[in-house]
Structure 1
């Protein structure tokens, strides 16, 4: 039932897709060996035909080949058509094939070997596990590429800002020297240099400390309905750039920002918030999806407990485009939110 609603549990947990591929290859060798040594079908040893045990053995041998061919044909069809969410259906089909063959062979006490049947059922399970693991690894690789792109953007932004700050410092340093040489007041220039030095220090800290960044709380009522928030992290100099990217063409409306909080250890803060709302995740199958059933105010209270008072927090989404568009929807298009 869990698999039918998209929550997959591995039947034979292995490290990666390649290991599943190896396990399937090993299992298929075991299937072939069972067929070669005639252990795939249980056959009565003393069945006689025309009062002859020899004729009986020939007859049961021929029939067992036909039975095994029918069973294996169904097993191969199940393997070819299997998906991660229909494993139970495939198992039922294969169990039915084994039962039907056993009924046909009752008179001669012939049936598919339980051990052989168990091998083919395990093949279905490993195939479903393999397919799901491939999906997981592709998703993880996609998200890792996204993370690396995000990091490169951060590095480029920090490098560009540092270059600009160095130019400004060089400029004001030259002005300061000229003012000192002419005996003029240098306090305003020194204040500017102090501001620049502070910005350089902050820039260097951000570049050196990978855990520093912004934790953001955003929602999209037009895409996900009310009382659903995304709690994420970005290290971008301008965190709203990341929010604007998330609200691109993949969703019908832009995201609304409820909070953007800078932390020296944003990684830990984000993890703590995710743990706090873990039972209320939308997606329990992929924990990298950071959406939760929660109101912005609930997140604000939890965030305030961890970091103190929040000076800037927007509890209600603006959702301007959503509210402007909603009036144009036809009655049949209206959803519960």
Structure 2
């Protein structure tokens, strides 16, 4: 005798095997309606392996599904116990929900995998242009095409730009298929290819011109990568008509980017050199004016003493002591004038200064420079002008007949401690005043007459005390 099993319609939970509905049983209203003519009972064609110790439904007795009242009550009681053991219809719903969640999870995992794949593809295509990131990665600029000066770069750039215009005019910039036809017309096909090629060239040149216009030396590689992406995009868009940027034209525009970056770097280096030269000229001019003022003062003083001596000698009443005193003073003035003239003539003579500014640069930073001024403190006061919040403190002023050489020696010994390792005209070093003192004693010797290890930093310390400045 064939065995029948309950055939759940679509969307209904699947009941346990050998399940028989009790009398009066109705499907859950939330379940979808069964299709018309749906067969609820079908012949069991295969037998599944029994689960270990599965709960068994009540044994049915002869007489059909709708037997006597007493027998039905007993069967209902057994079925209720069985359903409670299985979790009843809640278990059926949970099974259906679990299956649905498995399906949903599989779909979500597929979507996540697809999104990850597309993200990786996008990251591969993206050109990094964030200036902060580029600046963090920038190193010492290396010239791609070293030339002597900015003028030479400008001339070379003019030649490259002329070459770019010539290639575009001759149709050697963007090329495409030559056998393309439109409505059977080769002429119309060539016209379409030319029009699309011009459009692609406009897009390529717009990106290249923008890269040139916004170029910074540290952004060179980013600009090249961006232009490479444009070439790839044009190849994809123009694949059907074989439209692409000619390799020679692309190389020429890359060459233009490299020369532009080199030109900007060289231009900035020359500007920095000019600034340093002008600063040196201002310092020399200030020293010259000091020498002239000092000589004028000495000459005026000398004239005064000569006039007094001449009056004494003319009256004939001068005491020998007074005459000798005036002559000694005149000799002293003569020596002072000679010293000033010697200082003025010797461009290497001057003062090497060691100064610091805790409020601006911290406790372990010093500036080491030189000045030819007769009053070197004037130069220190100028350095502490409105460009820094506090005045510099002077640790040492060392006069030397070769102040230029002494300064260069100190800079060489402290080269590893430079703050700015690119622009060597910036004379700041990571070093304590005591470390510089020990180095000066070894180099300058007897020239080092006075040295202060501790910076007074009066304004900064007062500002910290009042809470208007942060301690370093």
TM-score by length of 2: 0.65
What residue is the counterpart of 1:256 in the other structure? 393
State the shift of 1:54 in Å.
Answer: 5.9
Residue 184 of structure 1 is aligned with which of 320, 339, 342?
A: 320
Instruction: Pick closer, same or farther for the CA change 1:265–1:107 going to 2, 3 Å.
Output: same
1:154-303 map, 5 Å: 154-176=287-309, 181=316, 182-185=318-321, 186-303=323-440
54-63 or 235-244, which moves further after superposition? 54-63
What residue is the counterpart of 1:328 in the other structure? 466
What residue is the counterpart of 2:144 in the other structure? 11
Instruction: Pick closer, same or farther for the CA change 1:251–1:32 going to 2, 3 Å.
Output: same
Residue 305 of structure 1 is aligned with which of 427, 431, 442?
A: 442
State the shift of 1:224 in Å.
Answer: 1.0
What residue is the counterpart of 1:81 in the other structure? 214
| Unpaired runs of at least 5, structure 1 | none
State the shift of 1:286 in Å.
Answer: 1.9
What residue is the counterpart of 1:316 in the other structure? 454
In structure 1, the residue corresponding to 2:143 is in which secondary structure? Answer: coil
Distance 1:92 1:43 in 2: 23
Distance 1:224 1:273 in 2: 20
Distance 1:301 1:154 in 2: 29
Is the contact made by 1:42 and 1:112 (CA closer than 8 Å) also made in structure 2?
yes
State the shift of 1:16 in Å.
Answer: 2.6
In structure 1, the residue corresponding to 2:320 is in which secondary structure? Answer: coil
Instruction: Pick closer, same or farther for the CA change 1:16–1:260 going to 2, 3 Å.
Output: same
Give the superposed CA RMSD.
2.6
| Unpaired runs of at least 5, structure 2 | 1-133
In structure 2, the residue corresponding to 1:214 is in which secondary structure? Answer: strand
State the shift of 1:323 in Å.
Answer: 0.9
Return the structure number with greater relative CO, CA threshold 8 A, min gap 6.
Answer: 1
Instruction: Pick closer, same or farther for the CA change 1:329–1:128 going to 2, 3 Å.
Output: farther
Distance 1:46 1:261 in 2: 83
State the shift of 1:72 in Å.
Answer: 0.8
What residue is the counterpart of 1:70 in the other structure? 203
CA offsets 1:61-95 (integer angstroms, 9 cap, x no match): 33322221111111112122223333333222212
CA offsets 1:176-221 (integer angstroms, 9 cap, x no match): 4566753422444344333222211210101111111111111111
Distance 1:239 1:132 in 2: 35
1:93 aligned to 2:226? Answer: yes
Is the contact made by 2:398 and 2:449 (CA closer than 8 Å) also made in structure 1?
no
In structure 2, the residue corresponding to 1:327 is in which secondary structure? Answer: helix
Distance 1:122 1:133 in 2: 16
Is the contact made by 2:175 and 2:245 (CA closer than 8 Å) also made in structure 1?
yes
114-123 or 23-32, which moves further after superposition? 114-123
Instruction: Pick closer, same or farther for the CA change 1:2–1:279 going to 2, 3 Å.
Output: farther
State the shift of 1:58 in Å.
Answer: 4.2
Kindly tell me the number of residue pairs found equivalent between the two proteins: 334
Distance 1:257 1:283 in 2: 21
153-162 or 75-84, which moves further after superposition? 75-84
In structure 2, the residue corresponding to 1:229 is in which secondary structure? Answer: strand
Distance 2:416 2:240 in 1: 56
CA offsets 1:42-75 (integer angstroms, 9 cap, x no match): 5355666677766654443333222211111111
Distance 1:3 1:55 in 2: 53
Instruction: Pick closer, same or farther for the CA change 1:6–1:319 going to 2, 3 Å.
Output: farther
128-137 or 222-231, which moves further after superposition? 128-137
233-242 or 67-76, which moves further after superposition? 67-76
Is the contact made by 1:3 and 1:85 (CA closer than 8 Å) also made in structure 2?
no
Look at both structures and tell me which one has the larger radius of gyration over its CA atoms: 2
Residue 104 of structure 1 is aligned with which of 237, 242, 253?
A: 237
Distance 1:161 1:46 in 2: 89
Is the contact made by 1:4 and 1:86 (CA closer than 8 Å) also made in structure 2?
no
Distance 1:132 1:277 in 2: 27
Distance 1:10 1:243 in 2: 37
Residue 118 of structure 1 is aligned with which of 239, 247, 251?
A: 251
TM-score by length of 1: 0.88
